[in-house]
A and B are shown apart, each in its own frame.
Chain A
Amino acid sequence: MPDATGLELAAQELSEAIPQSILGTEFHRGRATLLASPAKAHDVLERLKGMGYGFLASLHGVDYYPEEPRLGVLYELFDMERVDRISVKARVHTDAPSIATVIDLWPGANFPEREVYDMFGVVFEGHSDMRRILMPEDYEGFPQRRDFPVGGEPVLFTYNEEQSDGKFA
């Protein structure tokens, strides 16, 4: 991990290279996070890749309900030479959430981006295969959002098959 100073320097460098790209930084328990604007997230990640953070270790979504913008897409980047991790966070609103895909930078972002779409509804623009991956294709709703209830989905058993009208299967 870069230390708090290193993180600020990286943020400085990035915001000079790409104007209005970095909205802030977070440093907590040794974890360095860059808050990127969703419109510029792709450019920021591309530049970080050039700075040595060449391995996309993980890509996942978070719902910050009730904070706004609610949804977050997190990129855990890794520099294998210097053994250094940095994470980039882009926050998007729940109405028509979208962000540019990073498949062109890391082909391995394919499945994780589909998972974020499946669970949170964030559309990755430019993704070649933006479909659900874990949930059934005809599923409605985004189950990992915080306002989606646990156990809110009725389960079909033989005793309630008659009442179901084929609504849940």
Chain B
Amino acid sequence: MTLSEDYRRREESVTLSAESPSEGETHELLTLNIGPHHPATHGVLRLLATLEGEIVRDVKPIVGYVHTGIEKTAEDKAYWKVIPVVERMDYLAYYFNAMAFCGAVETLLGIEVPPRAQYLRVIHLELNRIMSHLVWLGTSALDLGAVSMLWYSFRERESVLDLFEMSSGQRMHTRYIQVGGVIEDIPRGFADRVKQFCKEMTRRADQYADLLEQNQILIERLRDTGKVDKDELLALGVTGPLLRAAGVPWDLRKAQPYSSYDHFDFQIPVGTIGDNYDRFRVRHAEFYESTKIIEQALEGLPEGPFITPDRKVALPPRHELATSMEALIHHFKLVTEGFRVPPGEAYYPIEGPRGELGCFVRADGSAKPARVHMRDPSFTNLQAFPSMVRGGYIADLIATVAMLDPILGGIDR
């Protein structure tokens, strides 16, 4: 059989029909396939919608188009080499992925992260949260007809990427967070640039509100659409801004503080009824809260080392290699084999931009992890999508995908 014949054969075996109409439904149902390549699905998400007229009766999300087996790849790499691959899962939250993985490995190793490194992590995590929300805001507003927002929010995103470039040399997938701390101290002038950005960001966030809050089309498309109550969201495992929009003040940064988040004064924005408008407002309010955290972290940035002094885990400083034989051996061992982690299992959850991002790591005593699993919030949150859109209009489905903010790199991994 030739390849094309085989392809046709497989194509015929695929059934596109969704569930059959329930009893009593007499209207003709239409099955509509949206995606996987569609600008409004925010990636390669495929939605199989069953429509009755313009009303969505059911929808099935189909995922897996960008599955790259990162969890499998990670099992074949030394711990410190896993960081760049896990960063590529949820590609808008790379600092968070690295943080969750490093946190799990640090738990297994039982090492302390120096206070300065914790603060530097917080600064970068919150900058990343702002960056992720900016991409969400721009693309969502684009879906809802407010085209110019894309350019405004991507302008601010560029400034965040410039800051990442300044501190780590990379704009995306920076590999900044390392096991035991961060790779480098921040360069001179970085703190001032970040402070300037925070001031600018607050002003810009006000402008976004002015632009969008007065936009009648946007408001009418968001208000009272995609409503799901909090009990159903919790049963479905939904966390993050989607849960907070339904009025649950749940945030792991407050509930189970990690990386010194308990040192900072910030609030958790919550919604009231959990519709798309609340989701929009909650994420928008998080711009201000993240800015507040960054400003406080810069203000109180402690002195001291930026990575653990444990030479078995962290690379020795460059200058020591010229004078110390021990440092040279440590360097050689770390770069060739990597460090070994005592056997055990750890699950390290953090609050990502989309909800609880948990990394499970199983160590078997070797220099490579025996299992890495990322509990990605986009993957779990997507299960709530059918409940959000059932019974609504097909146009509201597009608005709901935008407010759901799924990142397919994180879903498929």
Given known A-B contacts A29-B108, A29-B346, A58-B347, A166 and B2 have beta carbons under 8 A apart? yes
Q: Which of A9-17, A36-44, A93-101, A134-142 contacts B (4 or more CB under 8 A)?
A: A134-142
Residues of B within 8 Å of A56, CB to CB, are: 237
Provide the A47-74 mask, 1 if CB < 8 A to any CB of B, else 0. 0000000111110111100000000001
Chain A contact surface mostly: mixed
- Main DSSP-derived SS at the B contact region: mixed
- Is there a chain A Cβ closer than 8 Å to B64's Cβ? yes
Instruction: Answer whether residue B382 sits at the interface, using C-beta atoms and an 8 A cutoff.
Output: yes
Residue of B nearest to A33 (CB): B345
Check A108 against B345 for contact (C-beta < 8 Å): no
- B64 is contacted by which of A55, A63, A136, A148 (Cβ under 8 Å)? A136
**Cβ of A18 under 8 Å from chain B:** no
Taken residue by residue from 229 to 244, chain B's Cβ proximity to chain A (1 for < 8 Å, 0 otherwise) reads as 0000011111000000
CB neighbours (8 Å) of A144 from chain B are 71-72
Contact B360 A110 (CB under 8 A): no
A161 CA / B234 CA spacing, docked (Å): 48
Query: Is there contact, CB below 8 Å, between B237 and A57?
Result: yes
CB contacts (< 8 Å) of B371 on chain A: these are 62-63
Contact present for A108 and B3 (CB under 8 Å): no
A28 to nearest B CB, angstroms?
5
Please measure, in the bound complex, the distance between the C-alpha atom of A142 and the C-alpha atom of B375, giving whole angstroms.
Answer: 19
CB distance from B364 to the nearest CB of A (A): 9
Q: Which residue of B is nearest A166, CB measured? A: B6
Known: A63-B371, A85-B347, A135-B67. A29 touches B72 (CB 8 A): no
Shortest Cβ gap from A101 to chain B (Å): 14
A161 near B383 with CB under 8 A, answer no
A60 with B3: CB separation less than 8 A = no
Residue numbers in B under 8 Å from A31 (CB-CB): 107, 344-347
Please provide the chain B residues from 254 to 287 with a CB less than 8 Å away from any CB of chain A in the complex. 255-256
A21 interface residue (CB < 8 Å to B): no
CA distance A164 to B3 in the complex (A): 8
Closest chain-B Cβ to A58's Cβ sits at a distance in Å of 4
- A residues near B67, Cβ cutoff 8 Å: 134-135
CB <8 Å contact, A111 and B360: no
A60/B375 in contact, CB under 8 A: yes
Q: Are A135 and B64 in contact (CB under 8 A)?
A: yes
Contact A110 B345 (CB under 8 A): no
Given contacts A134-B63, A143-B69, A144-B71, contact A57 B235 (CB under 8 A): no
CA A63 – CA B372 in complex, angstroms? Answer: 11
A132: chain B residues at CB < 8 Å are 64
How far does the alpha carbon of A29 sit from the alpha carbon of B362 in the complex, in Å? 13
For window 367-382 of B, CB contacts with A under 8 Å fall at 370-371, 373, 375, 379-380, 382
User: Does A83 interact with chain B (Cβ within 8 Å)?
Assistant: yes
Q: Is the CB of A143 within 8 A of B345?
A: no
Supposing A28-B345, A31-B347 touch, asked if A150 and B73 sit within 8 A by C-beta, the answer is yes
Given the known inter-chain contacts A108-B235, A108-B236, A169-B3, please indicate yes or no for A57 contacting B349, CB distance below 8 A: yes
Tell yes or no: A80 within 8 A of B by CB: yes
A107 at the interface (CB under 8 A from B): yes
**Nearest B residue (CB) for A138:** B10
Map CB proximity to B onto A142-161 as digits: 1 under 8 Å, 0 otherwise: 01101010100000100001
Query: Which residue of A54, A57, A107 contacts B383 across the interface (Cβ within 8 Å)?
Result: A107
Please tell me if the beta carbons of B71 and A83 are within 8 angstroms of each other in the complex.
no
Flag whether A24 is at the interface (Cβ < 8 A): no
For B106, give the chain A residue with the smallest CB separation: A29
Q: Which one of A28, A85, A108, A161 has the highest number of Cβ atoms from chain B below 10 Å of its Cβ? A: A108
Residues from chain A with a CB closer than 8 A to the CB of B7 are: 169
**Given A56-B237, A58-B347, A106-B235, A29 and B383 touching (CB < 8 A)?**
no
Given the known interface contacts A31-B346, A80-B250, A169-B3, the answer about A57 and B72 at a Cβ–Cβ threshold of 8 Å is no
Instruction: Note all chain A residues with C-beta closer than 8 A to B375.
Output: 57-58, 60, 76
Interface bits A107-120 vs B (CB < 8 Å: 1, else 0): 11111100100010
Residue in B3, B107, B360, B383 whose CB lies within 8 Å of A166: B3
Contacts of A107 in B (CB 8 A): 235-236, 383
Cβ of B110 under 8 Å from chain A: yes
B138 to chain A, nearest CB (A): 28
List A contacts of B358 (CB < 8 A): 57-58, 76
Flag whether B58 is at the interface (Cβ < 8 A).
Answer: no
Tell me the complex Cα distance, A138–B349, Å: 34
A126 within 8 A of B: no
* A6 partner residues in chain B, CB cutoff 8 A: none
- How far is it, in angstroms, between the C-alpha of A25 and the C-alpha of B132 when the chains are bound? 40
20 extra A-B contacts, CB within 8 A, seeds A31-B107, A57-B375, A134-B63 = A28-B345, A29-B110, A30-B107, A57-B237, A58-B347, A62-B373, A63-B371, A76-B375, A80-B255, A83-B256, A108-B380, A111-B382, A111-B383, A112-B379, A134-B67, A143-B72, A150-B76, A166-B6, A169-B3, A169-B6
Q: Pick 11 A–B contacts, CB within 8 A, sort by A.
A: A26-B345, A31-B344, A31-B345, A57-B347, A58-B358, A76-B347, A107-B236, A110-B383, A115-B379, A134-B413, A165-B1
